Amino acid sequence: MLDYDLAALYGVETKGLNRAAKRNLERFPPDFMFQPTIDEARHSRCQIGTLNRGRNIKYLPFAFTEQGVAMLSGVLRSTRAVQANIAIMRAFVQMRETIALQTKLARRLDELEQRFIGHDHQLEEIFGALRELMDPGPKPIPRIGFKT
């Protein structure tokens, strides 16, 4: 996301957002925050149609990755930024719990699968025995001879 979009989201000025990020550069490595080239910035402005007054870009914007957005919410001091930071931390905790639950379910499924390996053959034997018991067997052979 670009700095001016994040500034609107967090309820701060773009200048203040960039100042906070620059003050804490050790928290924003290149994979968290970077500046696009002049061509990339012009191209993005043309596509979203923002530049109303001048045609030239005065300052290159900063772009923040997903991790940079999370880090930025911890650096800013606005009420919205604090709320966003809390929401992000709760989402991470919920994701971790969901992953742990999925891992636990997968482990249990593996245990059940191991327990029932070989049962197919045993079930076939049981059904065969039941069919033999249900089969009335051969018809009685009539006796040869005189009947009294």
Cα 123 from Cα 104, distance rounded (Å): 29
Asked if pLDDT for residue 47 goes beyond 70, the answer is: no
Task: State the pTM of this model.
Answer: 0.53
CA distance 5 to 1: 7
Among the ranges given (13-27, 35-49, 60-74), the one the predictor scored with the smallest mean pLDDT: 35-49
Least confident of 92-106, 107-121, 128-142: 128-142
Report d(CA 121, CA 3) in Å as an integer.
65
Q: Using alpha carbons, select from 82, 67, 59 the residue that is nearest to residue 30.
A: 67
